[in-house]
Amino acid sequence: MTKAVFKLALIANLLVALGFGPGLAATLDVDDVPAPAWSPVPFARPADFAAYMAQRHAWPREKIDALLVDYKANAQVIRLMEPPAQSFKRSWQSYRKRFIEPKRVAAGVNFWQENQDALDRASKRFGVPAYVIVGIIGVETIYGRNTGSFQVLDALATLSFDYPRRAAYFSKELEHFLLWTEEQGIDPKTIRGSFAGAIGLPQFMPGSIRRHAVDFDGDGSIDLGASKADAIGSVASFLKRHGWQSQSKQKTRVHLQLKPQQEASEEARKKILEAGWQPRLQKRDIEKAGLGFPKESKDRSDPQKKEKPKQQTREKSDQKDAAGAHAWAVFELPNADAQSTWIATDHNFWVITRYNQSPFYAMAVLELGEAVRDERRRQLAKPSEAATSAEVKTKNIATKTQSAESKAVGQAIPKDTKIKSADGKHDD
């Protein structure tokens, strides 16, 4: 590699590290977040990586050599990383069915019930709703049931040295992984995770663990595999540090109606999509492209209890102009050969895509979280409904009994007999 090429690569990666690259997280608080490690160029072989770690972090080369002495590219990791065949037709509806299904929803209800305190604390501290946290952990690992069986060191090494398409990214994650295990006193060879090197219930990459994970159970360490509290707090921390807006009154997403009868060309919708993932569009711009907002403005994603009439009136007034007052992004979610699903999304939707850069993923997180929340509410309402029903039945029985007794007494007393009151006097 020439010096000029090396310098260009060095500058490019430095810009990415400083926040000028695509798909980068929102600005973080430099006071409490360590600067991410970064690698100037992809490494051809483990020896090159060992030389870099020795120069950058003063790691003895023999230490890296010992860890990677038996390195051999994992063919299964590479196969799983490959994009689908060009003939594959993406479908949001098919993707949705994988995650919003009864077993996963039931597991989510149990997870919420068992971790109510941690979810409440995380929501209060970071401002992220519990159902969003539950949705992410459910989509990622079915609440810890499937955290991955690949040796993380092996997976990250394979993707750093033998997967050129993403080598620059995964070599940074390999660096983070070794630094993290060194900091925590963990043997790198013992950590298991996904084929991409993601770890624990929330499937954090090593860089995210170092930047965003928190000790949320107060035991002095961060364990995303065994501590559900740490996983919950870390997911909320990640979203908050990427700009989650807890005070936003805007809907996270709205389903749009495609209006072919309107004179809107495909070119107009293409320009709408090219506006990007962050919300920049106004309602009028979206409607000009033949995409209509629903008439009903009630937010099904966060139903509230009945409010006083004045509150309802004010809420309806606010909702009437809500869609037009906010900025939106627009996504087209393909459904294979069927009609696409069109959605308008807010800033918090974009924040979820920082966790996994896919609108399919963000939609699945929201819909699973909402399904779990709604099922939990339904189950919690059952005892009160049963109690109310039993109370009504008891009152009915008591009323019938009292009526029967009164009737019997009336029949037993002659019509012309006077009845004594409680004080012994006759009632005239």
Which residues form the catalytic set?
140
Backbone angles phi, psi at 427, to 5 degrees: -90, 120
Planar angle of CA 196, 27, 193, nearest 5 degrees: 15
Each residue of 354-379: b (16+ CB within 10 Å) or e? bbbeebbbbbbbbbbbbbbbbbbeee
Structure tokens at 251: 């809907």
Q: Please check whether residue 279 is in contact with residue 328, taking contact to mean a CB–CB distance below 8 angstroms.
A: yes
Q: Which DSSP category does 165 fall into?
A: G
Structure tokens at 85: 């065949």
Can you tell me the distance from the alpha carbon of 290 to that of 176, in angstroms, rounded to the nearest whole number? 46
Q: Please check whether residue 250 is in contact with residue 363, taking contact to mean a CB–CB distance below 8 angstroms.
A: no
Q: Please check whether residue 95 is in contact with residue 360, taking contact to mean a CB–CB distance below 8 angstroms.
A: yes
Backbone angles phi, psi at 252, to 5 degrees: -65, -40
Query: Residue 133: is it exposed, middle or buried by C-beta count within 10 angstroms (0-12/13-18/19+)?
Result: buried
Q: Which of 353, 377, 379 is nearest to 365 (CA)?
A: 353
Residues 6+ away with beta carbon under 8 Å from 380: none
Can you tell me the distance from the alpha carbon of 420 to that of 428, in angstroms, rounded to the nearest whole number? 9
